[in-house]
Amino acid sequence: MPPSQQTDSKSEVLVMGAGNFGSCLADHLGDSSHEVLLWSREEDVVKHFNKYHKNPKYLTDHSFPETITAIGPDLPSADILSKIDVLLFAIPTEGLRETLTRLRPRMDENNVPLLIFVNKGIEVGTQALTLEIVADTCGKEFARVATFISGPSFAKEIIRRQPTSVSVASLSQAHAEKASKLFHQPWFRCYTGKDPIGIELAGALKNVYAIVTGIADGLGFENNTRASLITRGLAEMTRIGAAYGASPLTFLTLAGVGDLFLTCSSPTSRNYTVGYRLGKGEKLEDIIRTLGSVAEGVTTTKGLKTIIDELAVVAPIANGIYEVLYEGKDVREQANLLMAHPPVSEIDLPERRRGGPVSQLMKKLGLEE
Ligand SMILES: NC(=O)C1=CN([C@@H]2O[C@H](COP(=O)(O)OP(=O)(O)OC[C@H]3O[C@@H](n4cnc5c(N)ncnc54)[C@H](O)[C@@H]3O)[C@@H](O)[C@H]2O)C=CC1
Ligand SMILES: O=C(CO)COP(=O)(O)O
């Protein structure tokens, strides 16, 4: 890969969360001349990071640029928050409401940094996406400019500068473009979009289907099975997204099918791994206890079930995984049940545009005037 491009405009960035993804993104931005603070709630991580420039718990082999300073475990002060240009959250969805609630009184609404979120989940209990959590905790002015980055992007590969592309979306086009510019590097491309809710839903839902394909692989099913689960998972995600009010086309983006394909086909995915180990017969509690990292699909399945029921969407795969995770149903029996569903039409196509070769052929068949 070509060397990192040093940007003209140097930003002061604060990354909240020093797990796999927060550390990786701090490294990415620190490597392109931005000043980076990395907040961790774990004191040992902060001390070790500042002494050795290594994270003792996540991406442990990697040496981080010396320009990154770790802070914590106390939350960043009002003074720090007033000086930064970018505030990036890389903590799991379940921890976001509390963190934002505690941070908000320290933030000046007349000096709001660029707010970026990379978590991929639905909050249990409220079924809220992050945009709504931001609105609830910080107010609508913050939510209107909140920006979301999502897409096929394993931390372990970004840190090795593998070419990566992601979707970046916000209700504010200007903020999406700012975030895109901040992250752009020869090994990292950003594609901006205007459907943050669709992008968020896609990122959260693909984790659920990654657990399902992991189960199938763990049970010993092969390539045909995985390909049909990914494709039918995409159809289901799109149906849920459309019923939710997102654009169905968003599910064809990097944050949609891109990330779905990645996480459903690689053991690097924690969600796929949860599924694979379930397929091999391990218990969910044991898998979560020993995973060492978050798999957001497990909690998201719970919120998703409520959404599916409320919107009355046909979602046999998501319902099936809910029953496995939360009702103790047997994984092999659920697989058999899915295959035993009666045949249905594959996809609801929009009205066909008249004209072109299809119309000519239909005329020849006497099916079109
Ligand atoms: N690892 C990856 O490749 C990618 C992860 N993501 C998303 O980024 C988010 C973070 O993932 P990872 O860093 O991989 O997870 P991780 O499990 O490696 O690290 C999570 C970090 O968040 C902190 N944390 C957990 N609960 C917290 C709370 N309640 N308050 C404050 N801090 C808390 C942990 O101490 C840890 O530093 C997740 O939503 C994940 O879906 C998105 C893209 C890629
Ligand atoms: O979202 C990811 C990559 O894009 C990471 O997936 P997992 O959380 O399943 O590891």
* Residue 349 reports pLDDT greater than 90: no
The Cα 192–Cα 178 span in angstroms is: 10
Are 182 and 94 members of one domain? yes
Tell me the Cα Rg of the chain: 22
Q: Can you read off the two tokens belonging to residue 354?
A: 């008249």
Q: 22 CA to middle of ligand 1, Å?
A: 7
Q: pLDDT tier at 366 (50, 70, 90 boundaries)?
A: very high
Q: What is the pLDDT of residue 347?
A: 87
Residue 138 in domain? yes
* pLDDT, average across residues 237-252: 97
pLDDT of residue 269: 98
DSSP state of 149: E
- For 108-134, the pLDDT digits (tens) are 999 999 999 999 999 999 999 999 999
Kindly state whether residues 187 and 220 are assigned to the same domain.
no
C-alpha 31 to ligand 2 mean position (Å): 22
Residue of the nearest CA to atom 1 in ligand 1?
21
* Sequential DSSP letters for 347-363: --PPPPPS-HHHHHHHH
Half-sphere exposure of 75 (CA within 13 A, CB side): 15
Whether residue 168 sits in one domain with residue 57:
yes
* Mean pLDDT on 2-22: 83
**Residues 207 and 262 occupy one common structural domain:** yes
Pocket lining: 299 vs ligand 1, CB cutoff 6 Å: no
The structural domain count of the chain equals 2
Question: Is it the case that residue 46 has pLDDT exceeding 80?
Answer: yes
pLDDT reported for residue 29: 95
> To test ligand 2's pocket by mutation, which of 59, 206, 263 has the most ligand atoms within 8 angstroms of CB?
263
From residue 196, alpha-carbon distances to 37, 135, 137, 214, 240 in Å are 26, 14, 18, 27, 15
Q: Return the ligand 2 atom nearest residue 294 CA.
A: 8
- Establish if 359 belongs to a structural domain: no
ipTM rounded to 2 decimals: 0.99
Active site residue 206: yes
Q: Work out the pLDDT band at 350, boundaries 50, 70, 90.
A: confident
- What's the CATH code of the domain at 213? 1.10.1040.10
Residue 5 is predicted with a pLDDT of 61
Both 288 and 327 in one domain: the answer is yes
Please identify, among 131, 161, 194, the residue that sits at the C-terminal boundary of a domain: 194
Residues 278-316 have pLDDT tens digits of 999 999 999 999 999 999 999 999 999 999 999 999 999
Q: Would 282 be classed as within a structural domain?
A: yes
Binned at pLDDT 50, 70 and 90, residue 32 comes out as: confident
Rounded distance from Cα 297 to ligand 2 centre (Å)? 9
Q: What is the pLDDT of residue 33?
A: 80
pLDDT digits (tens, 9 = 90+) for 66-78: 999 999 999 999 9
First-to-last CA distance in the chain?
A: 56
Which residue's CA lies nearest to atom 30 of ligand 1?
95
- Could you tell me which residues are annotated as the binding site for substrate? 120, 270-271
Q: Are 164 and 245 members of one domain? A: no
Q: Are residues 115 and 24 in the same domain?
A: yes
- Report the C-alpha gap between 341 and 93 in whole angstroms: 33
Ligand 1 nearest atom to the CA of residue 155, by list position:
3
In-domain check, residue 318: yes
Strand bridging mode 12-16 / 147-150: unpaired
User: Which is the catalytic residue, given 51, 206, 302, 329?
Assistant: 206
| 92 and 155 together in one domain | yes
Residue 181 and residue 244 in one domain: no
Say if residue 7's pLDDT is above 80. no
- Bridge partners (DSSP) of residue 162 are none
CA 306 to chain centre: 20
- Cα–Cα distances in angstroms (integers) from residue 315 to residues 3, 37, 190, 251, 308, in the given order: 45, 42, 31, 16, 7
Which-ligand-closest: CA of 152? 2
Binding residues for NAD(+): 17-22, 155, 270
Q: Which of 149, 168, 194 is the last residue of a domain?
A: 194
Residues 123 and 83 in one domain: yes
Collapse the DSSP code of 39 into the 3-class scheme (helix H, G, I; strand E, B; otherwise coil) and give the result. Answer: strand
Backbone dihedral region for residue 159 (phi beyond 0: left; psi -120 to 50: alpha; all else: beta):
alpha
Specify if 88 maps to a domain.
yes
Looking at the CA of 273, which ligand is closest?
2
| Residues of the domain holding 86 | 12-194
Residue 352 is assigned to a structural domain of this protein: no
Of 144, 169, 194, at which residue does a domain stop? 194
For 142-201, the pLDDT digits (tens) are 999 999 999 999 999 999 999 999 999 999 999 999 999 999 999 999 999 999 999 999
CATH number of the domain that residue 20 is part of: 3.40.50.720
pLDDT score of 311: 97
| In the predicted structure, residue 348 carries a pLDDT above the cut 90 | no
Q: Are residues 213 and 171 in the same domain?
A: no
Q: Which ligand is nearest to the CA of 21?
A: 1
pLDDT exceeds 90 at position 1:
no
Do residues 26 and 162 share a domain? yes
Ligand 2 geometric centre to CA of 264 (Å): 10
Q: Which residues line ligand 2 (CB under 6 A)?
A: 120, 152-154, 207, 210, 259, 262-263, 269-271, 295
Q: Mean per-residue pLDDT for 34-42? A: 97
